[in-house]
Structure 1
Amino acid sequence: MTKLQALVEKRKSSFVYLKKTHEGGCYWLNCVQLNRKPDLEAYAAEIPRARTTQLFYLGLSLARLLQSGCGGAAVVRGALQLFEEWEYHFAGNAAQSVRGLMAKVNTQTQGQGVEGGGSASGGGEDNNPVVARLCKFGSEMVYEHLLTPPLPFALDYFEVFFSLCDIICQVYNKLMEEECYSNVHVFEALVKVDAKVKRHVLNVTAKEFTEMSAKIARSELAALR
């Protein structure tokens, strides 16, 4: 419980810090001040549109999972399944082909249909390991939790990232429920979900901010020579 609480607080603090840094005026790692203009706006302009879309769909799907009103264990199961679907959806053709070979073939669709949304089960019972697995109906992949609605408008990277930070913090709040750490299988799934959040969101953004800060620092030092 103590370790989980420390992990949750650490992740929430990290996302609060990232959100605040994106707003501008903060010092990244207490070294370089990142201002909204020109630093962060130039940074956002270089973010591929596809990545902004990926983050938007991730936040949208996580929000749907939270709104289902399910308990912490179901959120963990659902989040693990969601990441499995999200990784598949945005993988390259070769990776999709390999993952598709391991997908379960259903004769009846589940949830809301192909590439839509679904229930908040996430797979796995209390006494069984939580396993995330892709499902196919015919030749098409069925998404249980990933939402991928068409986007008739351009997304603002900052707004997408701000919303994602808030939603992920809410997800981590759910992880503090007793059923998340009292069941070994759910806890193992929780650790996997945390690793995916760290890999796909935290590490990527932190690496880019560190590189941007180093570039700004070198530029400022060069100006003093």
Structure 2
Amino acid sequence: MTAADLLPYQITVHGHTSLLTMSGIPMPAQQGTSVGPQSAASIFQHVHDMSSKRVSTLGYLRKVHEGRVYWFNTVHFSRHDLMRMPYFDPKRLSRRAINFLLLGLSLPPILDAYTTPMEYLRALHALLVEFETFQQVHNPDGNFSSNLVRARLPQMFKRATYTGNKTRRASSANEIGLPMHFGDSSDVKAMTGNLASSATAASAVTSFPNTDSSDLLPGEEYTYLLTPSLPFDPDFFETFVTLCDVLIDCYNRLTGLVSSPSVCTTGFGELFTKTDAKLRKVMVAGVVRDFEDASRSGAKSEIGGVSRVVLGGLLG
């Protein structure tokens, strides 16, 4: 067999084209070719299997944070135990709670606005990219105070400003209502004029605090990530549990949109992998690592206590 025998040529049988070598050996399929039925079916199965795993993981993390289950049947973590983990450092917890709250507020519009799988996944991926950028700028692991809340508190309690000129007058009984008797029609005009001016002042435009984030840097803008004003620091545990519920809805929404393998192209599969990796990085990576370290130390402590009891009984 020579090198020329390995050069491929095309053969068409019943409308299907295949690549063969001069010796008749079929050429192996190359990467990057169009998605066949088997590839679409595998992507479809991968999307559904991975979504089911993520839903189970998020539900499990929610139960662990609520103190309802043991961490893989080893150690039970109460709220007090969780607060002793490095991940739940009070200095970082406020910033992390704000970030999770903003992500949770930004997800429902995407759930409602997009009805095709590709558009939905693109919007979800774009939101996670913006959220990743936001976290890099407002890093919860750095020495960062919750300026997102504190910078807005003075604005929330500002008094309303009115456009008209207001004059202070001494109150009298006649201002409560129209008097029973009028000596002159000018009194009626004066009183109705006062009532009209009061109504005009009440309907004047009131200046409310701006709903945009005053904590954003100049030029820091987001399309999908919402940054509304927050009157106070949210509770981390309530925020985390709610975010888990919203993300579970996101995965369930995706599996509902992907109802058949016909929509599962190579690009769709790659975009799903990228989006799932970002969600895993946000919700799973840091939390699981600290829980694993705490469960190991807790298991060692329990075993040490049992060993002292057993050895104490044997040696005593």
Q: Same fold (TM over 0.5)?
A: yes
Find the counterpart in structure 2 of residue 194 from structure 1: 276
The one-letter amino acid paired with 1:178 is V
Instruction: Give yes or no for contact 2:114–2:120 (8 Å, CA) kept in 1.
Output: no
Which residue of structure 2 aligns with residue 59 of structure 1? 104
Q: How many residue pairs get matched?
A: 183
Secondary structure of the residue aligned to 2:70 is: strand
**Post-superposition CA distance 1:186-209 (Å, at most 9, x none):** 332111000001112111111111
Aligned counterpart, 1:141: 220
Residues 115, 142 of structure 1: 8 Å contact kept: no
Partner residue of 1:29? 72
SS for the counterpart of 2:46 is helix
In structure 1, the partner of 2:258 is 178
Q: CA deviation at 1:27?
A: 1.4
- Higher alpha-carbon deviation: 204-213 or 171-180: 171-180
Shift of the 35–25 alpha-carbon distance from structure 1 to 2, 3 Å rule, reads: farther
Unaligned stretches of 5+ in structure 1?
94-113, 117-138
Distance (whole Å) between structure 2 residues aligned to residue 195 and residue 69 of structure 1: 21
Correspondence for 2:289 among 204, 207, 212: 207
Give yes or no for contact 1:52–1:160 (8 Å, CA) kept in 2: yes
Render the CA deviation track for 1:131-179: whole Å, top value 9, x for unaligned. xxxxxxxx61331101111211121111111111111111111222238
Contact 1:58 1:146 in 2 (8 A): yes
> What is the root-mean-square deviation of aligned Cα atoms in Å?
2.7
1:1-225 alignment runs, 5 A limit: 1-36=44-79, 38-43=80-85, 46=89, 48=92, 49-92=94-137, 140-176=219-255, 177-178=257-258, 181-224=263-306, 225=308
The CA deviation at 1:115 is 6.8
Q: Name the CA distance, whole Å, in 2 between partners of 1:33 and 1:115.
A: 39
Q: Give the Cα separation in 2 of the matches to 1:25 and 1:143.
A: 37
Unaligned runs of 5+ in 2: 1-43, 139-211, 309-316
- For 2:116 and 2:241, the matched residues in 1 are separated by 25
8 A Cα contact 1:21 1:28, kept in partner: yes
Contact 2:98 2:233 in 1 (8 A): no
User: Which one has a bigger Cα radius of gyration?
Assistant: 2
- Structure 1 ranges of 4+ moved more than 6 A: none
Identity of aligned residues (%): 31
Q: Is the Cα–Cα contact under 8 Å of residues 26 and 35 in structure 1 kept in the other structure?
A: no
Distance 2:115 2:225 in 1: 17
Distance 1:151 1:70 in 2: 31
TM-superposed CA distance for 1:42, in Å, is 4.2
Query: What secondary structure does 1:202 align onto?
Result: helix
After superposition, the Cα gap between the structure-2 partners of 1:142 and 1:183, relative to the gap in structure 1 and judged at 3 Å, is farther
Give how far 1:69 is off: 5.0
Distance 1:67 1:40 in 2: 35
Shift of the 155–213 alpha-carbon distance from structure 1 to 2, 3 Å rule, reads: same
Deviation at residue 62 of structure 1 after TM alignment: 1.3
**Aligned equivalents of 1:45, 1:83: Cα separation in 2:** 23
Partner of 2:298: helix, strand, or coil?
helix
- Matched residue type, 1:147: L
Mapped partners of 1:169, 1:6: distance in 2: 14
Task: Tell me the distance in 2 between the aligned counterparts of 1:215 and 1:149.
Answer: 40
